[in-house]
Structure 1
Amino acid sequence: MTSLLVLGGVLAAVLLGWTAPAHAAGERLVDEYRSVFGTPGVAAAVIDRSSVETIVRGRDGDGNAVTARTRFRIASMSKSMTATAIMLLVDRGRVSLDDPVVKVLPDFRMADPRFTGITVRQVLSHTSGLSISTNNEYVFPPPRGAREVVAGLADKTLATAPGTHAEYHNTNYSIAARIVEVVSGKSFDAFLRAELFTPLGMTETSSTLGCSDHAEGLTPGYEVVLGVAVAVPEMPGFCVGNGGVISTLDDMVRWLRFNQGTLGTGLLSAASLAELHTAQPNAGGYALGWQVRPVTADASPLLIGHGGTLATWTGDMVFSPRRGVAALVLTNGGGDPSLLSGNLVAERIGAPETPMSNPLTMVNAILLGLTVGMAALLVTVAVRARRWASRRRAARRPRLVLRLVPLALVMVLGVVLPTPIWGAFSLHYWIVTAWLMPSLAIFCLTCCVLGAVALGRRLRCFHRAGQASSAPVRSSSAALDSTSPRAW
């Protein structure tokens, strides 16, 4: 009888998924990550065959304790779900991975004749030829829905021939979402709910069109700068298909178990599931909504994973097909969660851990120092503008323009400094910088605003100094005129 009870318990654990007690090493890694990146809230899990260890820390955007049912934006991890939605249609014979997109979307047009060669597979593997250099994804206001995203490509060109070069580009997955809508006849969110989330028991998972759209039960994420966390709204952007899914730790554990082949085995064919996790031609290790990566640099075994990054949310998920170990990290702040997920897997399989460090700590500290220094310099220039103007008026060669050029350059610096990050000048990119790197945006604003104040004050004081120096001359002339014989 005892043996039967033990066997029954084992079978129940396998079938239902056993939640293991917190593993000391996992807790240590999560706590270290929060310390390094200042992340307000983290929900993490390690799946080791049939057991699931969950680790939750911190608070959500309303100040409540994070739990396994706290809702997070999973950002680009959503791509794995979009690719799976396409693969469901492939299994049903509704579409083929090697179909040209124009066959599935007759209204798809681009101002480049090569667009007709783009296939569904190339869209899912980021080898379509679409590029940030020819298609600005950060337009404001952002498009609403996949139909509008696809329509906006009509005047765009490709950077490379389809299938020849990989460039991670979110628009690819908005095209994929539109394919799902057209082929299925349902909205993208409705299809995911009915055909994917509900069958897998992911009852608290949904998706939105925009990255900042309201969602029931979703609290704000955080901006974290130099350890200071502030709850702020997410940056507006189009997320349909590429980053709009909202989920919980519990639901995402189910998603990983599905991809490991231990849950929902009848939902997708084994061949299609394997194809999702297989690196595609010329894709640089990208599969279909997933990436192939090592546990640590130059190490094996390989992991299948995908990360997600928005302005106020980050996350990562990985699993080892050979070892049966998976890790999941959801956070409500910035950072590099792939470090944590990789270390959680490495610790479990006995591989070396990767040291965790936050390069932005030094970057933000330098930017803060530059901001304070620049502000002090420009305020000093503005305060001493009157003395400067008097010296320039008294000088035999004022060289006014040359003296003002440095201030003008400071203002130009503030305007164009985000350009090297994005590779092109655009006011849209300046807005993105304000969300993704607020410390850089503050430095730029300091240069622009205080530079303009200092420049304007110097010009005004120089003009007034000129008026003051000419006033006595006019008075003396008037006095001479009054004593001249003609005055009588």
Structure 2
Amino acid sequence: MLKLKKRMYITISCLLLCTAWASPLSADEARDRTEVLQEIDEYMNRSMKANYIKAASLAIANNDEVFYAKGYGTLADGQVTGNTPFPIASLSKSFTALAVLQLVDKGQIDLDATYASYFPELSPQDPYVLDITVRHLLNQTSGLNDKINPDMTKTPQFQSLAEANQLLNTVQLAHIPGTAYSYHNPNYVLLANLVESVSGERFSDYLKKHIFEPLGMNHTFSVNTTQQFYENNTIPLGYYLSLGRAISQSEPLWFIEGPAGIVSTAEDMSLWMLSQYNGRLVSPVLMKQYHASGAIGPYGMGWLANQDASNGQTISHSGIFWTYKSEEQVYLNEQMGIAVMFNSGINAYVNYSAFIDGIADIMRGQEPQTSFVNGRNMETIMIALIVATLAWGIYGYSRILRNYHRLTISKLIMITVGRLIPVLILLSLSPLVTFIGGGRVLPWFGIWTTLSTPIIWLMVWSLVNFVHLACYIYVYFQNTKNDPLELPQ
């Protein structure tokens, strides 16, 4: 009996002790959450200011809840909220991939069947087109790329998904299907067309019925062209950065249904990320494939899949428009997802993925890293460089007229070659950007919005050099006029 009482005493004591520990822990957790949210707000506001970003929307999913969904910035009609719609650009690809896998789950699509088997009317000039499988399209290994099939610079743009098959009849593939990775938006246009054809539903309707509504994403929708962004007055106007100023600009016309056509909110994107580790939209076997990398690279099915030593398995994607940007990363092992959407476009100086890293650090109780390289600092440096170039131009002009009394033809040729350097850089920007961007062929408008201030500097440098060159030529002919007997060397 004494032993039984002793055991009961020990058990009760342990329970009371656990209760005493649990109560303050719960209070600490509540306080910590408030502090975490405050730190997140401070980080977002600070980072947006440092990069001249006018509006953004943040979504955080944690464990089984929408941890945070908030808008930042002020628009003409009020404050940005968690329900303000933003174009998510290429984050749309994971939705398109899921739609394909749902039809695979129903036995209506075979991942390793050829795309052409679903469209017997295709008559491609390149026989290798007939070897492109659904999996190749998902993994971006179809053999299509921007060099052989310019997407953003295509004129005219597609008017419907059905037109996408026309490109397969005339294109010559850059690679044999399945042998090389090339990120190419029309792969996902073709997949959207496949979903529409097999399901018998419009692609946008399919997404709404089978993905958005089941997940409760009631403010999310899909469009087919970028023109529909500025026709919808609920979507914040997009911007690009130039000379330290955010300049409003409508997105140029681009057919984006399938690869980049979804518009969503922070609230809805939180639900989307939750579904990546607790959803039931496809079978567990297909969900595993959905989150896996491809056969020849990290790009799988609408996601970049990685295995990190410290954070475990992650899936991520970035979205790029010229006046909008988005980033998303889901830490599957940690059951945490973070997505950020911006009304400013891709810029050489703005590291949008750093927003994800900073928020993740805060969520883990770590100090977010800051970098000197941001829009404000780099734009300030570039503006100073432009001013310095103009000052150098004025000084060089007076120096040429004052000191160059003797100028030979050989020196004039060398000077001319040197002064053409910025012009040559400007002329080679398009192929240079294509090389750096992994083969993506960008329109000049996109190059301008991405590198606006550096382009202005190159133009100023070129103008200064032309003025200098004109002075050199003037001095040379003045010398030959004043000393006609001296032969040029």
The interval holding the TM-score normalised by the smaller chain is: 0.7 to 0.9
Tell me which of 260, 264, 276 is aligned to 1:247.
Answer: 264
SS where residue 143 of structure 1 aligns? Answer: coil
Please tell me whether residue 181 in structure 1 is matched to residue 196 in structure 2. Answer: yes
Alpha-carbon spacing, 1:269–1:403, altered in 2? closer, same or farther (3 Å): closer
Whether the 8 Å CA contact 1:142–1:236 is kept in 2: the answer is no
The corresponding residue for 1:34 is: 48
Give matches, 1:38-437, under 5 Å. 38-54=52-68, 56-59=70-73, 62=76, 64-106=78-120, 112-139=126-153, 141=155, 143-144=157-158, 145-213=160-228, 214-216=230-232, 217-225=234-242, 228-262=245-279, 265=280, 267-282=281-296, 284-293=297-306, 298-333=309-344, 334=346, 335-349=350-364, 355-357=369-371, 359=373, 361=375, 364-377=379-392, 404-423=416-435, 429-437=443-451
TM-score by length of 1: 0.76
Whether the 8 Å CA contact 1:379–1:454 is kept in 2: the answer is no
**Structure 2, gaps ≥5 residues long:** 1-32, 483-489
Separation in 1, partners of 2:381, 2:209: 49
SS where residue 241 of structure 2 aligns? Answer: strand
Give the Å deviation of 1:398.
9.2
Alpha-carbon spacing, 1:170–1:398, altered in 2? closer, same or farther (3 Å): closer
Whether the 8 Å CA contact 1:367–1:443 is kept in 2: the answer is yes
AA matched with 1:440: P
Give the Å deviation of 1:141.
4.0
| CA deviation vs aligned residue, 1:277-326 (integer Å, no higher than 9, x gap) | 122322x222211222356xx52322222222222222222323333222
TM-score by length of 2: 0.76
AA matched with 1:41: A
Whether the 8 Å CA contact 2:50–2:374 is kept in 1: the answer is no
Separation in 1, partners of 2:121, 2:379: 46
Whether the 8 Å CA contact 1:112–1:156 is kept in 2: the answer is yes
Separation in 1, partners of 2:411, 2:460: 26
Higher RCO (CA < 8 A, seq sep 6+): 2
Whether the 8 Å CA contact 1:317–1:328 is kept in 2: the answer is yes
Give the Å deviation of 1:45.
2.7
Alpha-carbon spacing, 1:134–1:86, altered in 2? closer, same or farther (3 Å): same
Higher alpha-carbon deviation: 429-438 or 231-240: 231-240
Separation in 2, partners of 1:373, 1:125: 48
Percent identity, aligned pairs only? 24
AA matched with 1:27: D
AA matched with 2:136: Q
SS where residue 359 of structure 1 aligns? Answer: coil
Alpha-carbon spacing, 1:400–1:109, altered in 2? closer, same or farther (3 Å): farther
SS where residue 131 of structure 1 aligns? Answer: coil
Give the Å deviation of 1:72.
0.6
Alpha-carbon spacing, 1:458–1:25, altered in 2? closer, same or farther (3 Å): same
Give the Å deviation of 1:464.
11
Whether the 8 Å CA contact 2:141–2:179 is kept in 1: the answer is yes
Give the number of equivalent residue pairs.
Answer: 440
Separation in 2, partners of 1:152, 1:454: 49
Separation in 2, partners of 1:61, 1:113: 52
**Structure 1, gaps ≥5 residues long:** 1-19, 470-488
Give the Å deviation of 1:339.
2.9
Separation in 2, partners of 1:253, 1:226: 35
The corresponding residue for 1:476 is: none
